[in-house]
Structure 1
Amino acid sequence: MVNADNNLYNEFLEIVEDLIYTPEFRKLDECSHHYGVSRMQHCINVAYYSFVVCKKLKLDYVAAARAGLLHDLFYYDWQGSGLGVAKHAFLHSSIALENAEQLTELSPLERDIIKNHMWLCGKMWPRHRESYIVSVADKVCAVWEAGYGVKRKVACVMAE
């Protein structure tokens, strides 16, 4: 997971610090997301790895970091929402975009990243390379977080 020991973390933090300390973003720490990882931690993971990849590829790493941080800015428990996985996957990016627009001014690129990070489930395809990078980072982080959660649960069972 992302923490202060990672290379480039201070530069990343400078880019997102006006967002990361807001009550709206911090509230995501109360939302479970992937197997015991909070939605806040998931968003930080996605934003950081998107930032690193975009920086290496000389793309807009600032937009990738900021939009990556806000890509799942919604507060409902999607597993208990009654929406089902498919409907949630289709709808939550629009909800996150609305919430992000209330929190900060977004560039067209940042809007595209947030709105289309679930492009495989929707009608719209991303228009920018940064959008695809954030989308892939989202999926990679979700898989890693699921493995992390399973590992923690197994460790707890083994300790009993």
Structure 2
Amino acid sequence: MESLKEGHQRRMEKYRKQYEQRRKFYRLLKENASDILHSENFQKTRHHIQHGTMPVYRHCLDVAKQSIQINKALGLGCSERDLIRGALLHDYFLYDWHDKNRENYQKLHGFYHPGIALKNARKEYHLTRREEDIIKKHMWPLTVVPPLCREAWVVTAADKYCSLLETLKIRKRPGRVRVGVAK
């Protein structure tokens, strides 16, 4: 039978690994997408709800994290920079899609927002072809043309997974998220 001390050590090791994984992820964010994270428009996504009670900002961070984990677990060799930047910008539509009083309200948001997100992202950032493919095709099969690169497939899968958890309220709205504090 495991002693209390051994159980405590095992739990502490688990928490240490989780802490290190978070630090590594935030380091990757800072190295690859600091410009996005600190932009005024991306900060505004904290005030738009995506699924359930989850802000678009947190959803995009979760999709980026999940994309990195999928890439690592499957050994796909995707560009981490393109994964992170594409995931952060995949829902860069910059409006509250739940607001029926909004001008140009679209009942078919799922079909139209990838194009709007891509248009907004192009205005503010120099995008690679992979980043554009990620943003434009992340709603496949609603976007009839499937993704063309591995990175877009990974972000599409990560987005579906995170959206499912948020919609089923398995992943709840977290407290304050501080990006860029890990060294």
Given the two structures, how large is their TM-score scaled by the length of structure 1?
0.83
Show the counterpart of 1:13: 30
* Count of residues in correspondence between the two structures: 147
What is the distance in 2 between the residues matched to 1:150 and 1:105?
A: 32
When the two chains are superposed, the root-mean-square deviation of aligned CA atoms in Å is: 2.1
What is the distance in 2 between the residues matched to 1:106 and 1:95?
A: 15
SS in 2 for 1:120: coil
Give the structure with the higher percent helix.
1
Q: How far off is 1:98 after superposition?
A: 0.6
Q: How far off is 1:149 after superposition?
A: 6.7
Identity level (%): 33
1:85-106, CA deviations, whole angstroms, 9 ceiling, x for partnerless residues? xx21111000000111111100
Q: How far off is 1:130 after superposition?
A: 1.1
What is the distance in 2 between the residues matched to 1:146 and 1:21?
A: 27
Unaligned runs of 5+ in 1: 153-160
1:83 to 100, 106, 111: 106
Show the counterpart of 2:163: 142
Show the counterpart of 1:122: 143
| Equivalent residues of 1:54, 1:60 under 8 A apart | no
Structure with greater contact order relative to length (CA < 8 Å, sep ≥ 6): 2
Which segment drifts farther, 71-80 or 107-116?
A: 71-80
Q: 1:151 to 1:93 in 2, by over 3 A?
A: closer
Q: How far off is 1:43 after superposition?
A: 0.7
Given the two structures, how large is their TM-score scaled by the length of structure 2?
0.73
| Equivalent residues of 1:12, 1:51 under 8 A apart | no
What letter is aligned with 1:27?
K
Unaligned runs of 5+ in 2: 1-17, 174-183
Show the counterpart of 2:8: none
